[in-house]
A = this chain, B = another copy of it.
Amino acid sequence: MSTQSVDVQWSEEMAFRANVNGHEIILDLPIESGGKDAGPRPKPLLLVALAGCTGMDVISILKKMKVEPEYFNVRAEGNVTEEHPKYFTAIHLVYEFRGKDLPMDKLQRACDLSQERYCGVSETLKKALTITSEIRILD
Contact = CB atoms under 8 A, between A and B. Distances in A.
Interface in A31-79: 34, 39-53, 55-56, 59-60, 69, 71-79
A1 B10 CA distance: 30
A106 interface: no
Question: What is the size category of the interface that chain A forms with chain B?
Answer: 35 or more
B1 A48 contact: no
A10 B21 CA distance: 21
A2 B82 contact: yes
Contacts of A73: 7-10
Contacts of A56: 14, 16, 27, 29, 42
A38 B3 CA distance: 22
Given A14-B59, A40-B25, A77 B5 contact: yes
A27 B43 contact: no
Contacts of A1: 79-82, 89
Nearest to A69: B10
A32 B52 CA distance: 18
Contact of A43 (B7, B41, B53, B82): B53
Contacts of A85: 117-120, 122-123
A20 B52 CA distance: 12
